[in-house]
Amino acid sequence: MSKPHYQTMGQQFGRRSWAEPWKIKMVEPIRMISREAREQAAAEAGYNTFLLRSEDVYIDLLTDSGTSAMSDRQWAGIMLGDEAYAGSRNFYHLEEAIQTYYGYKYVIPTHQGRGAEHLISQAVIQKGDFIPGNMYFTTTRLHQELAGGTFVDVIIDEAHDPTSQHPFKGNVNLDKLQALVDRVGAENIPYVSLAGTVNMAGGQPVSMANVKALREFCDRHGIRIYLDATRMYENCFFIQEREEGYGDKSIAEILKEFCSYTDGAWMSAKKDNLVNIGGWLAVNHADVAEKARNMVVVYEGLHTYGGMAGRDMEALAIGIAEGVQDDQVAARVRQVRYLGKLLLDWGIPIVEPIGGHAIFLDAKRFYPHIPQDQFPSQTLAAQLYLDSGVRSMERGIVSAGRDPKTGDHRYPALELTRLTIPRRVYTQAHMDVVAESIKAVYDQREQTRGLKMVYEPEYLRFFQARFEML
Ligand code: F0G
């Protein structure tokens, strides 16, 4: 797992341009429907981009989840699917890949990330427990709550400030964690829920120094650390780029070290691992693995497929090894940065530093005249779709949901619209088109009004809520 023998163009030629470490072998046509058709589609979708038909979308930046392009090798792997109910050969390839690159002992496949979140939450949380974490993620927190736990945010304050230039805005604040231990007792904290990178904060990384310090803290208090490894490759890129002593290490080496400070991880393989569906849970403690294996057969499938077909496990095993390569991760993060820099040059407010998987427009600064309960980031996502058929996602008050105790909206400090870049799918020209559309929406900002919520589902409301224009 030393550095690969090839170099990126940037490494070879210094300040010259970089380019993707792949070429395109198959294409999928896309088109922009007319303004009139977009207006109709948006209204029919209740101004919720989750409710649009993808046929009506031009450039789809809803998510980087399950939207990556697989490589020729991964597609070849699909043909090697061993579709046995039990003990498929592909499961053993997957297990080996996770053990090799992430370093955990026991591997349990799941249909996607939230399947693994369900298993770990039910396996280790007791009713009344507290789960500290570096900012919430929607499905993660819900599974912790459904298991009887209460999530407590212990991320550093800078993470809630979209203008802070802190290089590791995903870091845990150990004083906040200490305060929680003092308040509720370490025996009521089964684990720290650590995500690298932090999706809701704008794709911000955790430093190696922070996870090391966290490990020491947790060892002193008998608390475990479980990692949301969904975008850890990107987290490792930032460590390589920004943290002293890691510039000469490969992403794979950094990953292995980072994971070694944790007790296990859950994974949405639909992101870093470059597959369209899949997930896994991997842990180092046999008792936790046993509980999770007992449950996986109830909710997902046998413990050697966990809801995935053999062929999908093969593509995933190949994707794990492919996605972790330095040039793959670098090209991915640099494409995101390219889009972000275009916007910054035009003075458009985004979360800084630019994160790993997406550009987050700061809707509070974009639409300062729209109050938070008129859904500024939902409004921005709707306006962007109307302008150009580009699909983005609300990450603000709608995503934050309601406080289960008071029933009121949670009012998050961050009110963001996320433009998430799928891996290996769009070109630089697509990024230019997206940036120009955002500029057009920005130029119209003073005339834009907010939204009213007219339908609200009970769980994860952002997926299915409906709105009307004010
Ligand atoms: N953890 C993080 C950090 C995620 O971003 C996601 C999914 C999950 C867990 C759950 O995984 O979708 O495979 O069940 N994020 C997607 C997104 C949906 O668009 O950010 P899943």
With a threshold of 0.75, does the pTM exceed it?
A: yes
Residue 407 lies in a domain: yes
| pLDDT bucket at 13, cuts 50 / 70 / 90 | low
**Residue 56, CA distances (Å) to 36, 40, 293, 429 in order:** 12, 10, 41, 20
42 and 127 share one domain: no
Q: What's the chain's average pLDDT?
A: 96
258 and 402 share one domain: no
| pLDDT bucket at 222, cuts 50 / 70 / 90 | very high
Residue whose Cα lies nearest atom 15 of ligand 1: it is 65
d(CA 362, CA 352): 10
Q: Which atom of ligand 1 is nearest to the CA of 270?
A: 13
Residue whose Cα lies nearest atom 21 of ligand 1: it is 113
Tokens of 201: 């904060």
> How many domains does the chain contain in total?
2
257 and 331 share one domain: no
CA of 277 from ligand 1 middle (Å) equals: 11
Give the model's pLDDT for residue 304. Answer: 98
276 and 364 share one domain: no
Domain boundary among 291, 323, 355: 323
Give the model's pLDDT for residue 7. Answer: 58
Computed from CA positions of residues 234, 238, 240, 241, in that sequence, does the dihedral angle turn out positive or negative? positive
Q: Which atom of ligand 1 is nearest to the CA of 195?
A: 3
17 and 41 share one domain: yes
Return the percentage of the chain with pLDDT > 90, whole number: 95
Domain span at residue 187? Answer: 72-323
Digit-coded pLDDT (tens) for 329-347 = 999 999 999 999 999 999 9
CATH number at residue 392: 3.90.1150.10
Domain boundary among 323, 348, 365: 323
Give the model's pLDDT for residue 15. Answer: 74
Pocket test for ligand 1, best of 50, 62, 230 (most atoms within 8 A of CB): 230
184 and 317 share one domain: yes
Residue 292 lies in a domain: yes
299 and 344 share one domain: no
| Mean pLDDT (whole number) for 447-451 | 98
300 and 342 share one domain: no
CA of 67 from ligand 1 middle (Å) equals: 12
Residue 218 lies in a domain: yes
- pLDDT surpasses 80 at 126: yes
Residue 459 lies in a domain: yes
Give the model's pLDDT for residue 8. Answer: 55
- pLDDT surpasses 90 at 212: yes
338 and 318 share one domain: no
- Contact residues of ligand 1, CB 6 A cut-off: 63, 65, 112-114, 137, 139-140, 195, 199, 228, 230, 268, 270, 279
Determine the longest span between alpha carbons in the chain, in angstroms.
62
Residue 67 lies in a domain: no
89 and 144 share one domain: yes
Residue whose Cα lies nearest atom 4 of ligand 1: it is 230
286 and 377 share one domain: no
Give the model's pLDDT for residue 9. Answer: 53
Give the model's pLDDT for residue 462. Answer: 95
Domain boundary among 282, 298, 323: 323
| Mean pLDDT (whole number) for 68-79 | 98
| pLDDT bucket at 236, cuts 50 / 70 / 90 | very high
| Mean pLDDT (whole number) for 139-162 | 97
| pLDDT bucket at 5, cuts 50 / 70 / 90 | low
Residue 214 lies in a domain: yes
Burial 394-406, CB ≥16 within 10 A → b, else e:
bbbbbbbbeeeee
Residue 332 lies in a domain: yes
d(CA 425, CA 370): 34
Digit-coded pLDDT (tens) for 358-376 = 999 999 999 999 999 999 9
CATH number at residue 180: 3.40.640.10
Hey, which residues does 282 pair with through a beta bridge? 107, 265
Active-site residue numbers? 85, 137-138, 228, 271, 395, 462
Digit-coded pLDDT (tens) for 247-267 = 999 999 999 999 999 999 999
Give the model's pLDDT for residue 40. Answer: 98
Pocket test for ligand 1, best of 140, 144, 268 (most atoms within 8 A of CB): 268
Residues in the chain, total? 470
218 and 130 share one domain: yes
Digit-coded pLDDT (tens) for 374-422 = 999 999 999 999 999 999 999 999 999 999 899 999 999 999 999 999 9
| pLDDT bucket at 1, cuts 50 / 70 / 90 | very low
| Cβ-proximal residues to 220 (8 Å cutoff; 6+ apart), any chain | none
Give the model's pLDDT for residue 414. Answer: 93
Residue scoring higher pLDDT (93 or 3): 93
Digit-coded pLDDT (tens) for 107-122 = 999 999 999 999 999 9
CA of 180 from ligand 1 middle (Å) equals: 26
d(CA 118, CA 121): 5
Residue 66 lies in a domain: no
